[in-house]
Amino acid sequence: MTNTIPPGIEGWARLPGPAAVLDAVHTRARRGHRTETGTLTGLALTAQQRREVALLLGTRWELSGRPVRLQDMAVKLAEHHLTVRGLVEVLHGEQIEPDKEYRSRAQAVATAERDRAATHLIESGVAVDVAERWLADTGLPRPGSGQLQTLAEQVATVLTRLRTTSSGTRLAQLAADTVHDAHALDADRQLGRGVARLLAIEHDLPRPQRAGRAWRAAWTAAGVACDGVSSRVLALNLPLTGESPAARLCVAAPGEPVWLTLRSLTGSWTASASDVFVCENPTIAEAAADALGLTCPPLVCTDGIASGAALDLLAGLAIAGCTIHARADFDPAGFTIADQVLSVAPDALSWRFNARTYAEERGLSGHHDAPEDLAAAVAGLRVAYDLARLPVHEERVLTLLLSDLAVGAGSAGR
Segment 189-220, tens digit of pLDDT: 999 999 999 999 999 999 998 777 889 899 99
Cα 13 to chain centroid distance, Å, stands at 42
Mean per-residue pLDDT over the chain, rounded: 93
Ordered DSSP codes for 57-103:
H-HHHHHHTPPPBHHHHHHHHHTTT--HHHHHHHHHTSPPPPHHHHH
Report the DSSP pairing between strands 299-301 and 232-236: antiparallel
Q: Which residues contact 240 (CB under 8 A, 6 or more apart)?
A: 246, 247, 250, 251, 269, 270, 271
Q: Confidence band (pLDDT; 50, 70, 90) for 2?
A: low
Q: Residues 362-408: pLDDT tens digits?
A: 988 877 888 999 999 999 999 999 999 999 999 999 999 999 999 87
Taking the alpha carbons of 75, 76, 79, 83 in that order, is the dihedral positive or negative? Answer: negative
Report d(CA 249, CA 276) in Å as an integer: 17
What pLDDT, on the 0 to 100 scale, is given for residue 267? 85
At 413, is the pLDDT very low, low, confident or very high (cuts 50, 70, 90)? very low
Phi, psi of 345 (to 5 degrees): -140, 75
More confident residue, 122 or 165: 122
Mean pLDDT (whole number) for 299-313: 95
Q: Bridge-partner residues for 69, per DSSP?
A: 39
Q: What pLDDT score does 240 carry?
A: 97
What does the pLDDT read at residue 369? 83
What is residue 119's three-state secondary structure?
helix
Q: pLDDT at position 410, please?
A: 45
Residue 13 pLDDT: 95
Q: Which amino acid is at 140?
A: L
Pick from 261, 158, 302, 271: which is nearest to 218 by CA? 158
Domains and CATH numbers, the chain: 7-96 (no CATH), 108-225 (no CATH), 232-411 (3.40.1360)
pLDDT-based confidence at residue 317 (cuts at 50, 70, 90): very high
Q: Decide if 250 contacts 238 (C-beta within 8 A).
A: yes
pLDDT at residue 1 in the model: 47
Provide the pLDDT for residue 409.
Answer: 45
Give this prediction's pTM: 0.67
Residue pLDDT, tens place only, 217-235:
999 999 999 988 989 999 9
Tell me the pLDDT band of 414, cut-offs 50, 70 and 90. very low
* Region 115-137 average pLDDT: 96
- 258 SS3 class: strand
Amino acid sitting at position 393: H
When pLDDT is averaged across residues 90-108 and rounded to a whole number, the result is 91
Question: Could you report how far apart the first and last alpha carbons of the chain are, in Å?
Answer: 78
Q: What local confidence, expressed as pLDDT, does residue 3 receive?
A: 67
Shortest CA distance to 22 belongs to which of 92, 75, 82? 92
Q: How far apart are CA 403 and CA 407, in angstroms?
A: 7
Mean pLDDT of 152-168: 92
Distance of CA 352 to the CA centre of its chain: 28
In the chain, % of residues over pLDDT 70? 98
